[in-house]
Structure 1
Amino acid sequence: QTSKDWTKTIQNEWKLLQRDLPGSIYVRVYEDRIDLLRAAIVGPSGTPYHDGLFFFDVRFPPEYPRCPPKVYYHSGGLRLNPNLYESGKVLISIQGLVLNDKPYFNEPGYKNTVNTPVGEKHSMAYNQTAFVLSCKTMLYSLRNPPKVITEPSFLAMVKRCPDYSSWRKRRFSVAMVTKLLIPVLEINCIDAYWVRISS
């Protein structure tokens, strides 16, 4: 596959991002580094990750699409899901199989306990731990942000986010949400731009 074909493939992926992802996902792409993107995913309601902000870096290798993209999770050193490692390693589908309402059953060997009293009891305890770790991840991101930048277009997107009203009810100000979102998504790239994903 030539470099031109690879570039076109990545550009097609960008178009898919603009068209097909839920409104709770923000993606940052880079014109001068087409192989990189950064995503922020707002944890789905009804899960232990509800309203949490989870950050992922994605790199498309030169062999893409024959080889999958490399994904790194900004964990803050915490493992809040069987498929998200402290080291940042990510296994399987992030949205569908990781940030779900019963992550306990993502653990190898626990699927056979789904809908059993023992399995549900363990799942509930696991969710409580996952919620605490999700909160700790948010605090880590607030305390250890990379270089701070200001982007009015991104601030406007934060305010339009479906979960923004929930953040406001919890007394999160735009400044607090922005302090968390913008620095963690920034990769020190001047000509980057945000792709707002809407449903």
Structure 2
Amino acid sequence: GYTWLFPEGDGCANVGTGIVIWRVRRDGVVPREVLARFVSGHAATEGRLARAEPVGPLRGHPLRTRLGGTRTHAERVLVAGDAAGLVNPLSGEGIASALESGELAATHALAALESGDFSAQALAAYSQALEARYKADWRAARILRLAVSVPRLLNRVFRRLRRDKELALLIGHIIIGHKSPRLALRPTTLLRLLA
């Protein structure tokens, strides 16, 4: 999982944690406890949150990271962003894919306006475009997410990244969504990561 602290101005911040559901179910990880440890004793928050008080109740929301399982089109309907399962499985980020899928939806909506055909069959091309753009990347991201959940493997990869700045830059770009996660699964990249 991961934690965050996003300043929001006026002395407020969004503080939270993201944990994959199988860790909660299998390992008994309690998100509230992870968050409490982060707020009270993590080096990143030490001193910054000493006098902080919650401005509202703790809230949790599942993030859909799997394209498929939910229809992304129907008659007169196109579904984009989080609702379409377009949260990055590796990072939990969803803004970039929301914007990109929104742009794809707009393109297909314009085509429907021009043709006058808003049927599910006519809008199916949108779902096909989403799959073509995201399915392979999201599959690779899920594989990487599983790999980084193994502490010994993660530690080995980080030791390697400290010695190989070019490889570290590639992995950084993958994590923030600027490059395809499939690049990390190429045999040449895997050999470099595990060398």
If the length of structure 2 is used for normalisation, what is the TM-score?
A: 0.30
If the length of structure 1 is used for normalisation, what is the TM-score?
A: 0.29
Max Rg structure:
2
Relative to its length, the structure with more helix (as a share) is: 2
